[in-house]
Structure 1
Amino acid sequence: MKLRVLIAEDHPLFRSGVRNLLQTTDDLDVVGEASSGEEALELADQLRPDLILMDIRMPGMNGIEATRHIKEKHPAIEILILTMFRDDQSVFTAMRVGAKGYVLKDADEDELLQSIRMVGSGGAVFSSDIAGRMMHYFSQPKAVPADDPAFAELTKREMEILERIAEGDTNAQIAARLHISNKTVANYVSNILNKLQVTDRNAAKRLLQKSRED
């Protein structure tokens, strides 16, 4: 039987290229395409694919949140992240919410096909670059967490950004203060919310304030 694949990717040309690649195989069947996290969630409900190729940065709901919701509703659907984001936070957050693989968009065709088949059969897979970064991550001392165990998974940089959020700084203000891009700040904020299991900045701020009061 063919592995039924849903492609969740907001760039039409890239999505078309992946679809065309999968259509050259005898064992992979593209059953649908989504251009946003919300659409991926809807199509997962309707089509019940075996596997979803999930981009991270999409309009509206991002791929991390979409993965979380899909795995909660349909734990049997496997998720393979296909993205340009190489940072450790994106990798570990994706794994934490249920993704079984993480492949970069510059992977060659054979690597992508092998990764889809591996995850579709219940395995886990990472691009060689990501695997190396994971080994490096685990070989380094962990960042000192906040006293409250709720913050134990946050890195030093994430705690720094959370402190700025608690002070009322916008993403643009945080980016200027830390000399990083707005996009990088937005990615950090998304990771912070995922790790703290809260839905917005105000909830994260309240959690930190409560920790200080205790």
Structure 2
Amino acid sequence: MFRSGVRNLLRTTDDLEVIGEASTGEEALVLVESLQPDLVLMDIRMPGMNGIEATRLIKERHPLTAVLILTMFQDDQSVFTAMRVGAKGYILKDSDEHELLQAIRMVGNGGAVFSSDIASRMMHYFSQSPVVPAEDPTFSELTRREMEILERIAEGDSNAQIASKLSISNKTVANYVSNILNKLQVTDRNAAKRLVQMTREE
């Protein structure tokens, strides 16, 4: 019903055209492959593949296709994970018609847009000091994703919690953790956590 309302709204405009609709992440990937849209409006919770994972795959395979998240979820983890996988905007389903159309046009033209309350939380989040001191030479061999995993380890998250927060599988997390331990030359995650604490204290 919500998708029907959005479709009808877009049909009232002269500069926007709906060329496809999907009800799952898997369907979205297939349609993006065949239709090559300029922009995808993406929800987060869907049957099967969620919107975060679908966004990640779309941006990997079709970097020129912009993704705008349109959802009812406004928790920090959903917002920041969506940004990390390549979403250029994040607005809520209770946004008015003008805000939605403005967001679509802005992201479609290469910009980025976020609902006002989400933008405020983002400013607060990025003003905080990171758990892991990324510029420390101790961590110079780690990739961006490995740094992200290490930060979650330093916060005390289990593999399952990391997998849930980053929308990846437990096996993928385990592989990342193994790589991190090898690169840091430590024996376990507790040693990695202590290493982070030591570098922050220096």
Structure 2: where are the runs of 5+ without partners?
189-202
Please state if 1:203 is matched with 2:172.
yes
Q: Which residue of 2 aligns with 1:127?
A: 115
Say which is worse superposed, 117-126 or 150-159, in terms of deviation: 150-159
Query: Contact between 2:163 and 2:173, CA under 8 Å: does it hold in 1?
Result: no
Deviation >4 Å, runs of 4+: 147-151, 154-159
SS in 1 for 2:117: helix
Residues 158 and 105 (structure 1 numbering): CA distance in 2 closer, same or farther, change over 3 Å? Answer: farther
TM normalised by structure 2 equals 0.75
Unaligned stretches of 5+ residues in structure 1: 1-12, 166-184, 195-199
Task: Determine if the alignment matches structure 1 residue 140 to structure 2 residue 135.
Answer: no
Q: Deviations over 1:116-160 (max 9, x none)?
A: 000011111111111001011112233358x87565325559953
Alpha-carbon separation, structure 1, partners of 2:98 and 2:26: 29
- The structural deviation recorded for 1:23 is 1.0
Judged with a 3 Å threshold, the aligned counterparts in structure 2 of structure 1 residues 159 and 203 are, in CA distance, closer, same or farther, namely: farther
Greater fraction strand: 1
Q: Following superposition of structure 1 onto structure 2, how do residues 1-214 of structure 1 map, counting pairs within 5 Å?
A: 13-144=1-132, 149=142, 151-154=146-149, 159-162=155-158, 165=160, 189-194=163-168, 200-208=169-177, 211=181, 213=187
With normalisation by structure 1, the TM-score equals 0.72
- Secondary structure in 2 aligned to 1:153? helix
Whether the 8 Å CA contact 1:158–1:192 is kept in 2: the answer is no
- Structure showing greater radius of gyration is 2
Instruction: Return the offset for 1:92.
Output: 1.9
Q: 1:120 to 1:33 in 2, by over 3 A?
A: same
Query: In structure 1, how many angstroms separate the alpha carbons of the residues matched to 2:104 and 2:41?
Result: 8
How many angstroms apart in 2 are the aligned matches of 1:89 and 1:28? 31
Q: Tell me which amino acid in the other structure corresponds to 1:153.
A: E
The answer as to whether partners of 1:162 and 1:192 remain within 8 angstroms in 2 is no
Percent identity of the aligned residues? 63
- Residues 79, 159 of structure 1: alpha-carbon distance in 2 compared, 3 angstrom cutoff: same
Deviation at 1:88, TM superposition (A): 2.0
